[in-house]
Chain A
């Protein structure tokens, strides 16, 4: 019996072996960034950056790009394959870019397969490109061996401080989910560098508006609790002060009835003064700073919220908070009411540390 079982397993393995496709590491070409431009109503142009690694010790990877025009994600990949010397695989994909033009026309066809594909990992960063994706991807940047590497580092490490993590799965979750509108970072090619420009706001799968890069840090404060980043504000006498975030928390409180809802947003911010030129920081000035910040931040947040309500987008997920508050939540009625819902911000700050600026 035992022998019988053993040989059964062994045969099964031998049979299965021929049906599994091996993907030996150096025999495939890894697409590390992929981007799409708008061509016309039905077609788009895909650019895949798949760096080529020459053999040897201490060698630099070479830039390699494959472009093709097609209708869908897989169709374009298939056409890109026609030019590549090895099999193109997307298992190590790190960046997924969409041009602003394409985003305005909707990205549903493009992102749908991403959600279903088993090849797409968890940490694929997504961004909207202001301008041509092809230009941004294929440019030879002076500060990195390959443009894909620059882009990866840029997205993964740099943007972390400024905006909530913009991965494909977060995007798909927001887009497919019941109650939230997605948002993505906007990047652009400026001279010979990539630059973060702001936050793109989506209504369903369409680009509808954007926040500036200054506003995006405030957006992060309102969106989730964070431990990173610095915020800058000015006192009455036009002195600018930078405070570093030690930790911040945000809490949403929904009250009232479904017909007359009210939303209160409480942000508590624990900060440390990093830079306060020509200000002697004492107890009195600290209090003044705290007041100045919360006043300024409330104004900025309200302004941002008005923009959201005007555009009828809900990137902060207020609908979700309302849904969990009210029994028998009526989504249609809420969507109509959303632009007029009063939303109040309570920005509380405590500056604990004045660092080296204390005299």
Chain B
């Protein structure tokens, strides 16, 4: 079908076309008797535009040069180029090309991409009862749109990078110029540019690849699917990172306290929000320490058990053939299995598994004399408590670090629990997030940052942005004397 032309045949364009032609979804054809060939991937373009606009226009005017086509096409961003990598990229992202098989291997590139995307829906892992119900989707441009809508200022800057040898993922680094510390932005861009990997499927890939400590179970950049939360942290001076095809954004630098903050905290009044934040901190501590304390106390420190609980514990543990350690590990593993199975199965079966597993395993294990009633309550409460963290990834971390605690409790009793806790704390002390201390404001102690950490003070007390982020402009607003009228009866 193609008439051979040696000059064209040797060109890079021909090689590219030849490589593409091996795919079934690649189309290349000549229009009637005109000298132009058209080529595109039919799976990447919108056929309506090609048929109604491009071809109709082309047939009506019947142009004779590439420039002429460019002038008559009702589509913008059309370019003429002979840069082969450029052509390839465009072709792969939904463009059609016009080319001639004579003379220079120039190409007219017309972008007609067909973008398949999901509608913006409600957040699933970070659902709140009150507040906005928008969540990020897989399309980078939609996500940026959602953020820009909330921060409509030119200072909101987006740096776009391409990562991944095969996936060529578009990664956007977002920050507010003048607030965000340029050093943080520099660090993030530098680290992303340093990534050498073939495929980036999600922002979690980036999060792991650019983390300060790659062996720590704790994520050092927090992921969120809420545009409002991301806009809030950007306004604080943090740096946000998106990647195309991922419905979550990550942001940093963060501290440990961020794990306990939900966006809902800012939607309810400060004292209520603080109470729930304290509850979450307590829940996580409880979740980590409950089972291990049970094992330690039952194995070594029977003196600690109150008199009234003693008989209850002894009678319920009487038939159990295992030491408390094995008993606890068995039950913890059962709950982990249940959680994992529930997460992997489709929603409908998942629920069934949850109910069946919960009831059957729970009551049957007690009746069979494999675990005691008290442990069942301890483990179940611990599991429940671990899921109070607003960041999903952290809750699984918390569930995992319970196991070393249980082991240490078995080996050394409460001393072991203390040793394990010391190891955990020393690990957290060493962690950094984009070079900033992770345990801030507890260590290094920065008293003024406590206003939005363990508790949240009212907005009127938040005139300064947190110190940890090292914002360029620390002032949120000018704190002025209250203008409120206290009492108006005499007026």
Contacts and interface: CB of A to CB of B under 8 A. Distances in A.
Interface stretch (B252-260, B313-321, B457-465): B313-321
Interface stretch (B6-14, B164-172, B348-356, B408-416): B408-416
A30 B305 CA distance: 12
Contacts of B302: 23, 25, 28, 30, 89, 91-92
B488 interface: no
Contacts of B320: 26
A24 B299 contact: yes
A57 interface: yes
Contacts of B305: 25, 92
Interface in A73-114: 89, 91-92, 94
Given A24-B324, A25-B305, A61-B311, A13 B299 contact: no
- Most central of B298, B369, B373 by chain A CB within 10 Å: B298
A178 interface: no
Given A16-B412, A92-B302, A57 B307 contact: no
* Most A Cβ at <10 Å: residue of B310, B311, B317, B369: B311
A22 B315 contact: no
Nearest to A55: B318
Interface in B306-362: 307, 310-311, 313-320, 323-324
B319 A13 contact: no
Contacts of B411: 13-14, 16-17
B303 A20 contact: no
Contacts of B300: 20, 22-23
Given A23-B300, A23-B302, A30-B302, A17 B307 contact: no
A85 to B, nearest CB: 13
A57 B373 CA distance: 9
Nearest to A27: B323
B419 interface: yes
Q: Which of B299, B318, B419 has the most CB of A within 10 A?
A: B318
Nearest to A153: B307
Among A24, A57, A119, the most chain B Cβ lie within 10 Å of the Cβ of A24
A142 interface: no
B318 A53 contact: yes
Most buried by B among A16, A22, A32, A91: A22
B312 to A, nearest CB: 9
Nearest to A123: B307
Contact of B319 (A55, A89, A119): A55
B215 to A, nearest CB: 11
Contacts of B317: 25-26, 55
Interface string B174-215: 000000000000000000000000000000000000000000
A49 B435 CA distance: 62
B412 A13 contact: yes
A23 B314 CA distance: 13
Contacts of B413: 20
A53 B314 contact: yes
Contact of A24 (B298, B311, B315): B298
Interface in B368-387: 369, 373
Interface in A16-74: 16-17, 20, 22-26, 28, 30, 32, 51, 53-57, 59, 61
A30 B314 CA distance: 10
A9 interface: yes
A152 interface: yes
Which of A17, A25, A54, A92 has the most C-beta atoms of chain B within 10 angstroms of its own C-beta?
Answer: A25
Contacts of A9: 419
Nearest to A26: B317
Q: How many residues of B sit at the interface, in one of the four size bands?
A: 20 to 34
Contact of A53 (B298, B311, B373): B311
Contacts of B373: 57
B307 A56 contact: no
A22 B323 contact: yes
A57 B412 CA distance: 30
B313 A25 contact: yes
A6 to B, nearest CB: 8
B386 to A, nearest CB: 25
Nearest to B422: A9
Contacts of B298: 24-25
Nearest to B318: A55
B307 A119 contact: no
A66 B103 CA distance: 112
A152 to B, nearest CB: 7
A92 B319 CA distance: 22
A115 interface: no
B318 A94 contact: no
Contacts of A92: 302-303, 305, 307, 310
B426 to A, nearest CB: 10
Contact of A26 (B314, B408, B416): B314
A265 B299 CA distance: 52
Contact of A119 (B303, B311, B314): B303
B403 to A, nearest CB: 15
A24 B328 CA distance: 14
Contacts of A59: 315
A149 to B, nearest CB: 9
B458 to A, nearest CB: 40
Contact of B314 (A22, A25, A57, A91): A25
Contacts of A23: 299-300, 302
Nearest to B319: A55
A261 interface: no
B410 to A, nearest CB: 9
Contacts of B419: 9, 13
Contacts of B323: 22, 24
Contacts of A17: 411-412
A240 B118 CA distance: 87
Interface string A105-132: 0000000000000010100000000000
Interface in A340-359: none
A55 B310 contact: no
Given A22-B323, A25-B305, A92-B305, A30 B310 contact: yes
A69 B169 CA distance: 85
Nearest to A22: B299
A54 B315 CA distance: 6
A32 B311 CA distance: 11
A28 to B, nearest CB: 7
Interface in B15-48: none
Given A30-B302, A91-B303, A152-B307, A13 B416 contact: yes
Contacts of A121: 303
A125 to B, nearest CB: 12
17 contacts: A13-B411, A14-B411, A16-B411, A17-B412, A20-B300, A20-B412, A22-B299, A24-B299, A25-B317, A26-B314, A26-B320, A51-B311, A55-B319, A92-B302, A92-B310, A94-B307, A152-B307
Interface of B: 298-300, 302-303, 305, 307, 310-311, 313-320, 323-324, 369, 373, 408, 411-413, 416, 419
Given A24-B299, A26-B318, A53-B318, 15 more contacts: A9-B419, A13-B411, A13-B412, A17-B411, A20-B300, A20-B413, A22-B299, A22-B323, A24-B323, A25-B302, A55-B318, A59-B315, A89-B302, A91-B303, A92-B307
* Top-3 shortest CB links A-B: A55-B318, A91-B303, A53-B314
Interface of A: 9, 13-14, 16-17, 20, 22-26, 28, 30, 32, 51, 53-57, 59, 61, 89, 91-92, 94, 119, 121, 152
